[in-house]
């Protein structure tokens, strides 16, 4: 299985901090944000990674990560997204890297308390399709800013609703997605959303429609450090006090 770390985007929700650097290079406690995503993947046994980034600070990732060996990466590749075209478009840049393998995609601003090793093992055993990691969130006002799955009576995902006014569950889709190689057949069929981007929710709902979408519910803390300035500092506080990526 290959790993793809998505570290692009304009980072507008963290302005003015992101006027001087890519948001994924901002510090979380004692090291750059992107290093936590890399650590999560490497600790789960994924040692071939691609970092997809963009903007004027893309070269800083090469300066930070180099060939990746210091971080436990066997082979590290880079891709450049020329404009903010959405998560699905960014994933599409990794097609030749992933080839016929399976892929775990992680947004580099996602911070997890617990290891994802069990979810990687679950996807290896999965026959085909996709898998998402969910986090339980009781605050409905927070869920209204996230992707929220609607579950059918059998507990399977029936639909994923983006930023729902009336959340259909207390679960949120985090920024970790598992796909088989068919994801690269899906991406070219997508229509840009109203904001001109190819949305990962549309990719996920395609797998839902094929009844090949599975999920795990994360244990412990999950934070999106790029969600807002308040969230960024809340994630910092948690990491400093508790640590992350723990087995």
From first to last of the 247 residues of the chain, give the pLDDT tens digit. Answer: 999 999 998 788 898 988 889 999 999 999 999 999 999 999 999 999 999 999 889 999 999 999 999 999 999 999 999 988 899 999 999 999 999 999 999 999 999 999 999 999 999 999 999 999 999 999 999 999 999 999 999 999 999 999 999 999 999 999 999 999 999 999 999 999 988 899 999 999 999 999 999 999 999 999 999 999 999 999 999 999 999 999 9
Q: pLDDT value at position 83? A: 85
User: Quick one: tokens of 147?
Assistant: 């992707």
Distance (Å, whole) CA 47 – CA 68? 9
**8 Å CB contact between 84 and 10:** yes
Distance (Å, whole) CA 183 – CA 193? 18
Q: Is 25 helix (H, G, I), strand (E, B) or coil?
A: helix
Burial 198-230 (b: 16+ CB within 10 A, else e): bbbbbbbbbbbeeebbbbbebeebbbbbbbeee
Whose structure tokens read 């395609």?
A: 206
Q: pLDDT value at position 197? A: 92
Domain boundaries, the chain: 2-133+173-197+213-242
Distance (Å, whole) CA 101 – CA 13? 34
Q: pLDDT value at position 229? A: 95
Model-level pTM? 0.96
Distance (Å, whole) CA 58 – CA 73? 19
Q: Which CATH code of 3.40.640.10, 3.90.550.10, 3.40.50.300, 3.40.449.10 fits the domain covering 2-133+173-197+213-242? A: 3.90.550.10
Reference 90, options 199, 2, 10; nearest CA is 199
Radius of gyration, alpha carbons of the chain:
17
Entry field: residues in the chain: 247
Cα–chain center distance at 123: 16
Taken in order 220, 202, 55, 20, the sign of the CA dihedral is negative
Reference 105, options 50, 32, 23; nearest CA is 50
Give, rounded to a whole angstrom, the gap between the first and last alpha carbons of the chain: 20
């Amino acid at each position: 299985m290959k790993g793809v770390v998505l570290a692009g985007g304009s980072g507008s929700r963290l302005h003015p901090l992101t006027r001087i650097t890519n948001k994924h290079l901002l510090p979380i406690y004692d090291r750059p944000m992107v290093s936590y995503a890399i650590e999560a993947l490497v600790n789960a046994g994924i040692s071939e990674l691609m970092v997809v980034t963009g903007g004027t600070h893309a070269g800083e990732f090469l300066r930070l990560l180099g060939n990746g060996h210091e971080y436990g990466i066997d082979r590290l590749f880079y891709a450049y997204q020329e404009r903010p075209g959405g998560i699905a478009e960014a994933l599409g840049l990794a097609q030749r890297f992933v080839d016929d393998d399976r892929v775990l995609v992680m947004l580099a601003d996602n911070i997890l308390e617990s290891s994802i090793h069990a979810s990687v093992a679950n996807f290896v055993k999965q026959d085909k399709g996709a898998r998402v990691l969910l986090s339980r969130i009781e605050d409905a006002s927070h869920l209204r800013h996230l992707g929220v799955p609607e579950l059918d009576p059998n507990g399977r995902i029936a639909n994923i609703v983006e930023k729902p006014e009336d959340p259909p569950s207390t679960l949120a889709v985090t920024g970790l997605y598992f796909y088989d190689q068919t994801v690269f057949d899906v991406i070219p069929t997508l229509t840009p959303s109203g904001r001109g981007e190819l949305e990962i929710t549309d990719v996920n709902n395609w797998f839902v429609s094929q009844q090949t979408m599975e999920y795990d519910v994360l244990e412990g803390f999950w934070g999106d450090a790029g969600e807002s300035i308040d969230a960024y500092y809340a994630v910092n506080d948690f990491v400093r006090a508790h640590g992350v990526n723990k087995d």
